[in-house]
Structure 1
Amino acid sequence: MALIGYARVSTQDQDLSAQLEALQLAGCNKVFHGKQSGKSDDNLSKLAELVEYVREDDTVVLTKLDRMGRSLNSILETIQKLNEKGVQVKTLDGQVDTTSNNPMQKAMTQLLGVFAELEHSIIVDRLQDGRKRTGKLGGRPSKLTPEQRQEIITKHDGGISQSALAREYNVSRATIINLVKK
């Protein structure tokens, strides 16, 4: 059983020394660390290195939970990966401690999961609202103009086959089928 530390600061001008000192005082045998934003690939590789390195019965120690990632969702995913390997997570500020079977700690971890789900829902809602407001609903632009769509429906109703319409308008037969279904 080893204590493995993880320290991160978001910008190059921030200092890691306080986190590193606290992790050493906590008894960490090895510390993974970096000066990267939570978004950067380098930070993700340091975290991936940590997840790859730890073994069953190890404990990952952080000064604060937010050092593990940018969003609560990504933090909980990492905690889940570690738990699946039989690795515990502990923060020095006492927010999370999966090393104990304390019901309060279990409840706290589950609450973090609920908040992560809420955070995700809020982000999705904001994205959808933004798309509606700008009219950019996503997806590939249609090959057919509204006028062409109406022409296709009229021609189909007049007896022209779906295959012939697909060739004429240079679209797939499935596009024609979907259009005339509406």
Structure 2
Amino acid sequence: MNEVIGYARVSTREQNPQSQEAELRAAGATRVYVDRGESSRISERPQWVACLDHLRGGDTLVIRALDRVAGTERMAIETIRDLGQRGVRLKSLSEPFLDVDTSTPMGEAIVGIMTVMAQLRVSTIRENTMRGLAHARSQGRVGGRPTVMNEARIEAAVKLREEGKTLVQIAEVLGVGKSSVARALTNNADERVRNIEQ
């Protein structure tokens, strides 16, 4: 027998999910899974995982809004597509366009359109970022956060590396992140190669 299953989420444990639960039950949910204090950007939320395990083909998943289950556009697209492939209907109470059977040709078309739009937005953001960085460089500015690896730390990192220390060990000694050490050592090596070639 097909079921209507609800999923609710609140960002902090202090928030009360009762209003969400009431809305989902009013929409026909016979069971509601609730995550408290969990970020929508994390896919491995305990009750979300349990909800997905419970859902079967032919069931309907009802949510208040898409941001309850997905914190990014990519996650949203993947969630809609995965549910559709499993034959689970997705219904959002605040987004009527999501009340579609994603396992049908029309549902697949809607997912396809959403995928294209999400990719276009990502590409546009990337293009604008690159254009902004290029303009900043032309003005003598460099984008991004300032590095924690000053000359003294880079010299120390090089020496420690030559002594056989790992990136983790070097990072602990210098009090910085491992990625900062790795990036600094790579940039330093590239600079030395360029100097030799000149």
The verdict on a shared fold, with TM-score over 0.5 as the criterion, is yes
Q: What is the root-mean-square deviation in Å for CA atoms of aligned residues?
A: 3.3
Alignment of 1:121-140 (within 5 A): 121-125=123-127, 128=130, 133-134=143-144, 140=183
Alignment of 1:58-97 (within 5 A): 58-93=59-94, 94-97=96-99
Once the two structures are TM-superposed, the CA of residue 122 in structure 1 deviates from its matched residue by: 4.3
Residue 55 (structure 2) aligns with: 54
Residues 35 and 46 in structure 2, CA contact (< 8 A), matched pair in contact too: no
Residues 130 and 70 from structure 1, CA distance in 2 versus in 1: closer, same or farther, beyond 3 angstroms? farther
Once the two structures are TM-superposed, the CA of residue 73 in structure 1 deviates from its matched residue by: 1.5
Once the two structures are TM-superposed, the CA of residue 13 in structure 1 deviates from its matched residue by: 3.0
Once the two structures are TM-superposed, the CA of residue 95 in structure 1 deviates from its matched residue by: 3.2
TM-score by length of structure 1 reads: 0.64
AA aligned to 1:146 is E
Once the two structures are TM-superposed, the CA of residue 76 in structure 1 deviates from its matched residue by: 1.3
AA aligned to 1:144 is A
Q: Deviations over 1:16-73 (max 9, x none)?
A: 111100111112122111122213466x333232222211111111122221111122
Mean CA deviation greater in 125-134 or 66-75: 125-134
CA–CA distance in 2 between the matches of 1:64 and 1:108? 17
Alignment of 1:79-158 (within 5 A): 79-93=80-94, 94-99=96-101, 108-125=110-127, 128=130, 133-134=143-144, 140=183, 141-142=186-187, 144=189, 146-151=191-196, 153=197
Task: Confirm whether residue 33 of structure 1 aligns to residue 14 of structure 2.
Answer: no
Once the two structures are TM-superposed, the CA of residue 78 in structure 1 deviates from its matched residue by: 0.9
CA–CA distance in 1 between the matches of 2:70 and 2:86? 19
Q: How many residues align?
A: 150
CA–CA distance in 2 between the matches of 1:106 and 1:147? 53
AA aligned to 2:77 is L
AA aligned to 1:112 is M
CA–CA distance in 1 between the matches of 2:120 and 2:67? 17
CA–CA distance in 2 between the matches of 1:119 and 1:102? 24
Residues 23 and 62 in structure 1, CA contact (< 8 A), matched pair in contact too: yes
Residue 161 (structure 1) aligns with: none
Residues 64 and 95 in structure 1, CA contact (< 8 A), matched pair in contact too: no
Residues 90 and 101 in structure 2, CA contact (< 8 A), matched pair in contact too: yes
Unaligned runs of 5+ in 2: 135-141, 147-178
CA–CA distance in 1 between the matches of 2:89 and 2:126? 31
Using CA pairs below 8 Å that are at least 6 residues apart, which structure has the higher relative contact order? 1
Residue 14 (structure 1) aligns with: 15
